[in-house]
Amino acid sequence: MLDTAETFLEALSANGLVFPTGVDGIYGLDGRFETVVQAVDDFITREGQDDGAERVRFPPAMPVRQLERGGYLKSFPHLAGTVHCFDGDERDHRDMLRRIEAGEDWSDRQSASDIALTPAACYPVYPMLAARGALPDGGALIDVLSWCFRHEPSIQPTRLQTFRMREYLRVGAPEPIVDFRHDWLRRGTAMIERLALPYRIEAANDAFFGRVGQFMADNQKSQELKFELQIPINAGEPPTACMSFNHHLEHFGDLWEIRTADGALAHSACIAWGLERMALALFRHHGFDIGQWPAGVRAALWP
């Protein structure tokens, strides 16, 4: 029954856990699904609660200017989404409605606004930090969550167009950044073990655009700048990245001119969880009835 991505989606839908909307990768979620997403989010909070992270939350949209300066459109133009709005008059509106009625394209009536959809939870954090001036001694540790958008429609329920990403982001001098990622590789793995989920850790790369992008991807992988914690979810498909451990070196420090207390360009690293993917992994391996999940898993999620 769960042999392919499509049938897992069908099974989720048949069990009333997700509601198709007619667009791949855009689904409504039942309260049980949402309860698991919330529990995973809370589990991450408890795991990190003694680290003293600053908690910030950003909306699903951010300034286009920040996406431009943050380098996203250079690396991932094909995944970005910009928000366009109507600024016409009543005559234009009548024409729009006539075209909708006739099933014609009316998108040329929409003009670009100054906002885009947030592509990763940490993207709005760099300009926030930059605006504060030099980092404090010891750097910064940020706890962030955001709805994110990536334009990659798919029938795999693990590849949503809109999804929630929770992150811990560490910004500061090179050495503590390396330690942070190393530490979380261990802690993140232990969390997945408490959830009794099968996994593997792999060196990975982001889905950079084009031929130059392929070079960047190879480079990222060979330098081991990105690790993924992958869990088999869609049978017959490669396992799904449910966590990622990303070392940015001074990429964002340079783009945003974020400096450490002693004036050097800041390095950064982030640990990210895909919250819907974590929930899907739990449903896939422990079943659709949350009440029947193993006692240890339930104790980890609802202590």
> Applying CB under 8 A, does 221 fall inside the site for its own copies?
no
Only one residue has tokens 């606004």, namely 113
What character string, x for contact with its own copies (CB under 8 A) and - otherwise, covers 93-112?
x--xx--x----x-x--xxx
Classify residue 260 as exposed, middle or buried by CB count within 10 Å of its CB (0-12, 13-18, 19+).
Answer: buried
Q: Which of residues 58-87 bind its own copies (CB under 8 A)?
A: 58-63, 65-66, 68, 73-74, 77-78, 80-87
Closest distance of CB 130 from its own copies, Å = 11
Of 8, 43, 126, 149, which lies in the binding site for its own copies, with binding defined by CB under 8 A?
149
Q: How far is it, in rounded angstroms, from Cα 130 to Cα 165?
A: 22
226 strand-pairing partners: 246
- Nearer Cβ to its own copies (57/200): 57
Q: Which of 48, 119, 124, 139 binds its own copies (CB under 8 A)?
A: 124
Q: How far apart are CA 132 and CA 114, in angstroms?
A: 23
DSSP 89: -
Identify which of residues 1 and 131 has a Cβ nearer to its own copies in the complex. Answer: 131
**Alpha-carbon distances, residue 59 vs 62, 124, 146, 162, 293 (angstroms):** 7, 9, 6, 13, 33
Cβ atoms of 267 and 135 within 8 Å: the answer is no
Length of the chain in residues, anyone? 303
**Considering beta carbons, is residue 100 or 207 the nearer one to its own copies?**
100
Nearest distance, CB of residue 79 and its own copies, angstroms: 8
Output the six-digit token pair for 289: 């009835």
Structure tokens at 48: 């990190």
Would you tell me how many other CB atoms lie within 10 Å of the CB of residue 106? 17
Pick one of 1, 22, 262, 291: the residue that binds its own copies (CB under 8 A). Answer: 22
x/- track of binding to its own copies for residues 192-211 (CB under 8 A) = -----------------xxx
SS3 108: helix
Residues in 266-295 that interact with its own copies by CB under 8 A: none
For the bound state, the minimum distance from the C-beta of residue 199 to its own copies, rounded and expressed in Å, comes to 26
Q: Six-digit token pair at 240? A: 């799904």
Of 73 and 242, CB closest to its own copies: 73
The residue ranges that bind its own copies (CB under 8 A) are: 19, 21-23, 26-31, 33-34, 54-63, 65-66, 68, 73-74, 77-78, 80-88, 90, 93, 96-97, 100, 105, 107, 110-115, 117, 124, 127-128, 131, 143, 147, 149, 151, 160-163, 209-212
